[in-house]
């Protein structure tokens, strides 16, 4: 009997109308099983209403790098996020270095988004991941800013030989820290890993015994085209969480 599953998750829900609408079409077509919602963005309010109305499995897509576009975002939240963003975007290595001078701004920015998600969706997020994967930055992890006991997105998984040993070791260390406070799937792949029929079948075989999350962005026409003919049958993260941890 199969003990695994495939979760096809769409990022950036609520970022703008085009992103929300393309994702909604995939959800309705049952080729996307869950969404990661951005708050303080121009379509966040409408996206939250749609998610509640249609019972869409959603989590928080923590945004530490892209400017907030909602008129309802307070200047103080935008200012703290801008400080964090300037640092994280300053160099490719910024996310791996703890910045003591930004402890307050990281805390303020993360807490504000957790509270805004709870306001929009009527409940605290049971799952958190990050825009550009910045929920795995050193400040977020070492300050324990993600709610304990939630499902958190791990680092990308790679097949043997795809990354050097330093890269793989760093990812394993980060995932080990994450696992102490959070639940994680067994593997995370970008949807690029499921573009061809051979790749799809390889992932489907792996999913017979493992829980796999595919990260996708339906607003990208190339990803949308593959999603619409996917051979995988996705499972909502909500159902995965209930099956595994209750």
pLDDT digits (tens, 9 = 90+) for 85-134: 999 999 999 999 999 999 999 999 999 999 999 999 999 999 999 999 99
What average pLDDT does range 238-244 have in this prediction?
41
Distance CA 37, CA 39 (A): 7
At 143 the pLDDT is 97
The residue ranking higher by pLDDT, 68 or 162, is: 68
Q: Is the pLDDT of residue 229 over 90?
A: no
Q: Both tokens of residue 108?
A: 């303020």
The residue ranking higher by pLDDT, 218 or 192, is: 218
- Identify the band that residue 202 occupies on the pLDDT scale cut at 50, 70 and 90: confident
Q: Both tokens of residue 186?
A: 């067994």
Percent of the chain scoring above 90 in pLDDT = 71
pLDDT digits (tens, 9 = 90+) for 19-52: 999 999 999 988 899 999 999 999 999 999 999 9
- Identify the band that residue 243 occupies on the pLDDT scale cut at 50, 70 and 90: very low
Distance CA 110, CA 107 (A): 5
At 192 the pLDDT is 75
Q: What is the domain count for the chain?
A: 1
Q: For all residues of the chain together, what is the average pLDDT?
A: 89
Per the rule left: phi > 0, alpha: psi between -120 and 50, beta: everything else, 99 is beta
| CATH code where residue 34 lies | 3.20.20.370
What residues make up the domain containing 131?
5-245
What average pLDDT does range 219-245 have in this prediction?
61
The residue ranking higher by pLDDT, 14 or 238, is: 14
Contacts 24+ apart (CB under 8 A), 194-199: 194/226, 194/230, 194/232, 195/226, 197/231
Q: Is the pLDDT of residue 245 over 50?
A: no
Residue 202 vs residues 129, 160, 196: alpha-carbon distances, Å:
25, 14, 10
The residue ranking higher by pLDDT, 231 or 127, is: 127
Q: Flag the least confident range among 113-122, 172-181, 184-193, 224-233.
A: 224-233
Strands (DSSP E) contained in the chain are 5-13, 34-37, 58-62, 127-130, 151-152, 187-190, 211-216
What average pLDDT does range 154-163 have in this prediction?
77
The residue ranking higher by pLDDT, 167 or 71, is: 71
Percent of the chain scoring above 70 in pLDDT = 88
At 246 the pLDDT is 24
User: What is the edge-to-edge ordering of all strands in the sheet holding 127-130?
Assistant: 151-152, 127-130, 58-62, 34-37, 5-13, 211-216, 187-190
């Amino acid at each position: 009997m199969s003990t695994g599953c495939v979760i096809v998750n769409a990022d950036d829900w609520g970022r703008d109308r085009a992103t929300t609408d393309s994702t909604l079409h995939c959800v309705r077509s049952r080729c996307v099983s869950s969404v990661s919602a951005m708050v303080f963005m121009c379509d966040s309010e409408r996206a939250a209403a749609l998610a509640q109305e249609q019972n869409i499995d959603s989590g928080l897509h923590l945004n530490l790098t892209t400017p907030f576009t909602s008129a309802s975002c307070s200047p103080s939240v935008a200012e703290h996020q801008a400080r964090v963003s300037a640092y994280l975007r300053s160099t490719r290595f910024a996310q791996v270095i703890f910045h003591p001078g930004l402890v307050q701004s990281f805390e303020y920015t993360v807490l504000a988004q957790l509270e805004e998600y709870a306001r929009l969706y009527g409940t605290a997020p049971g799952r958190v991941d990050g825009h550009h994967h910045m929920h795995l930055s050193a400040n977020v992890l070492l300050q324990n800013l993600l709610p304990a006991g939630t499902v958190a997105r791990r680092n990308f998984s790679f097949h043997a030989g795809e990354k050097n040993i330093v890269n793989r070791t760093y990812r394993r260390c980060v995932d080990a820290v994450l696992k102490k406070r959070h639940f994680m799937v067994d593997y995370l792949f970008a949807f690029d890993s499921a573009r061809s029929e051979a790749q799809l079948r390889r992932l489907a075989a792996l999913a017979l015994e493992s829980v796999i999350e595919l990260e996708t962005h339906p607003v990208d026409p190339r990803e949308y085209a593959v999603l619409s003919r996917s051979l995988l049958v996705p499972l909502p993260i909500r159902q995965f969480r209930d099956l595994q941890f209750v």
